[in-house]
Chain A
Amino acid sequence: GQQLNQSPQSMFIQEGEDVSMNCTSSSIFNTWLWYKQDPGEGPVLLIALYKAGELTSNGRLTAQFGITRKDSFLNISASIPSDVGIYFCAGSYGGSQGNLIFGKGTKLSVKP
């Protein structure tokens, strides 16, 4: 099935560093969502974006809905060990309903 281009695929973080990841699509979306998934669990919703250009924060997390409606980014400031996990972007064509199309994920690990 269709998936979004999410980058980077993986990255190592050191505590206190800022982290940035992004997602691009060949199609225009009406909604962008960012999720975090820990091993053996379902994805947990972090941030939802509904308007082009929208910038939304949730604690140390900030996400933006690109003005072209074909991209989104997620920033994590001052990372902490519990930030490790897999982050997924997801887009939806439907305004209030409809399935989500997911990226392949960005895996955050702690630098050895």
Chain B
Amino acid sequence: GAGVSQTPSNKVTEKGKYVELRCDPISGHTALYWYRQSLGQGPEFLIYFQGTGAADDSGLPNDRFFAVRPEGSVSTLKIQRTERGDSAVYLCASSPGTHNEQFFGPGTRLTVL
């Protein structure tokens, strides 16, 4: 079956602009996670959804970052007033919820000029 998909695969924007990153989880997976990966590092947790609600948003670095999952499937990560330090690969993962096996998408590479 289809895995986790993320769009766009690459996004280049200018400092101060607003961006939206989209994640389509594996069908039927109730849990959805966003991570951010900088060069040479492991992924770092941002936010986790169980269904439509954010169960844990403790990893969001500041209030410029926001994510939604209005129908409990697709999720959008929104970044306002982007800064150069936001440049990274943004990874989405989903899990069926019975065990914590998380399956990752290919990521969106965000570059803020």
Contacts and interface: CB of A to CB of B under 8 A. Distances in A.
Interface of A: 1, 3-4, 6, 31, 33, 35, 40-45, 48, 50, 88, 90, 92, 94-105
A88 B42 contact: yes
Contacts of A31: 99-100
Contacts, number: 78
Interface residues of B, number: 29
Contacts of A104: 40-42
B50 interface: yes
A45 B59 contact: no
26 contacts: A1-B59, A31-B99, A40-B106, A41-B106, A41-B107, A42-B4, A42-B93, A42-B104, A43-B104, A50-B99, A94-B100, A96-B97, A96-B98, A96-B100, A97-B50, A98-B48, A99-B33, A99-B45, A99-B56, A100-B45, A100-B102, A102-B42, A102-B43, A104-B40, A104-B41, A105-B42
A98 B107 CA distance: 20
A27 to B, nearest CB: 14
Contact of B43 (A43, A44, A48, A95): A43
The listed residue with most B CB atoms (<10 A of its CB), out of A1, A31, A50, is A1
A6 B102 CA distance: 20
